[in-house]
A and B are shown apart, each in its own frame.
Chain A
Amino acid sequence: SAVISQKPSRDICQRGTSLTIQCQVDSQVTMMFWYRQQPGQSLTLIATANQGSEATYESGFVIDKFPISRPNLTFSTLTVSNMSPEDSSIYLCSVELSPAFFGQGTRLTVV
């Protein structure tokens, strides 16, 4: 299993600003995943973050909007850039150890 600490747990941000979400894992993992969960909906994969290489983004998500860092095998950040109200969601980081383990999520509200 894995224990994943994600912060902040929630934030209210002004449109046009950026927010960086941090994710810390208690063990070394090759891949970390970032998901978005819009209100009342399922989880949508944003990107896969591998240590030492650029993140791989899913269709509909781009690096300029969601830059990701992966400086080591236990840590990753996701930045939501130039935010608009449509970015209001829960953002979740995850590691796959078959099963997937999730952080507690970051509830973002953009006003």
Chain B
Amino acid sequence: GENVEQHPSTLSVQEGDSAVIKCTYSDSASNYFPWYKQELGKGPQLIIDIRSNVGEKKDQRIAVTLNKTAKHFSLHITETQPEDSAVYFCAAHRGNQFYFGTGTSLTVIP
């Protein structure tokens, strides 16, 4: 099956700085890679996604990059704000199933 690894597990940044979270996957058949943000007491919410035929996607302060050859993808948040503080999960989609990373707890320090 697919194995998704996510790093770092915790990340603290100063407000206004950038944050980068990285994930690797093992199965080259995975073709879709979403990122989720989970705030305390809530379910995961999709923030950005990328398909395997695209190398980069950007949505305002959030971007995702994908390197299919190396089987890794990254989430980039620029100009971080305190409301970006949450747990972020990456995922890889293969077949009809999602495989999730272990999560990154991001703290943005005002």
Which residues of A approach B to under 8 Å, CB–CB? 4, 6, 31, 40-43, 45, 48, 92, 96, 98-105, 107
Contact = CB atoms under 8 A, between A and B. Distances in A.
Given A45-B98, A96-B96, 16 more contacts: A31-B96, A41-B103, A42-B89, A42-B100, A42-B101, A43-B89, A43-B100, A92-B44, A96-B98, A99-B32, A100-B46, A101-B46, A102-B45, A105-B41, A105-B42, A107-B41
A104 B45 CA distance: 9
Contacts of B106: none
A66 to B, nearest CB: 17
A100 B100 CA distance: 11
Contacts of A92: 43-44
Interface of B: 32, 34, 36, 41-46, 49, 89, 91, 93, 96-98, 100-103
Given A98-B93, A100-B34, A105 B98 contact: no
B103 A99 contact: no
Chain A binding surface, main DSSP class: strand
Given A41-B102, A42-B101, A43-B89, A102 B44 contact: yes
A102 B43 contact: yes
A22 to B, nearest CB: 14
Contact of B102 (A4, A42, A98, A100): A42
A101 B34 CA distance: 11
Contact of B43 (A40, A42, A48, A104): A104
Among A42, A92, A102, A104: residue with most chain B CB under 10 A: A42
Given A42-B89, A99-B34, A104 B101 contact: no
